[in-house]
Amino acid sequence: MKTAAPRPLTVIGWIETIDLPDLGLPGLRTKIDTGARTSALHAHDIRPFTRDGAPWVAFMADLGHGLHDRPIEAPLHAERPIKNTSGVPEDRYIIRTRMRLGRRLWTIDLSLSDRSAMTFPMIVGRAALKNHAIAVHTRRTHLVTPRPGASQDTP
């Protein structure tokens, strides 16, 4: 029986620009945070609701802490306690959505949290990177995605 060849390791920077195409959120300046288990997106005015008998969540999201507020609705995947940056567990809504990093696209779990006091509107945690042959370079940024505002031809 022939087995698939392992995917080559992709090295990414500790800051990358990602897209969340299912949510209509392109160009999110994102910190890759392997110290965090779950990825988190800045969201406010978070409201759970029911659509056709299924749990959903509505929220306001933005690309840069209030600069591009937009309403989003998504199926609710879970609600679970997640430790905040102070290590204190807080109940958060979790959605499941696709993330594009460079040329790759895959599904991740994403917690919704008020990150207005944080530098980055989104963090990508280690669970989103697991099983995708990704390593994080701790001293480099934008190794697989262009810097915001840079042309696509700029290394």
Structural domains for the chain? 10-137 (2.40.70.10)
CA angle 16, 135, 117 (to 5 degrees): 40
The whole-model pTM stands at 0.88
pLDDT digits (tens, 9 = 90+) for 39-92: 999 999 999 999 999 999 999 987 665 556 889 999 999 999 988 777 888 999
Contacts within 8 Å (CB) and 24+ apart, 17-22: 17/142, 17/145, 17/146, 17/147, 17/148, 18/99, 18/100, 18/101, 18/122, 18/124, 18/145, 19/99, 19/100, 20/97, 20/98, 20/99, 20/100, 20/110, 21/98, 21/100, 21/105, 22/74, 22/97, 22/98
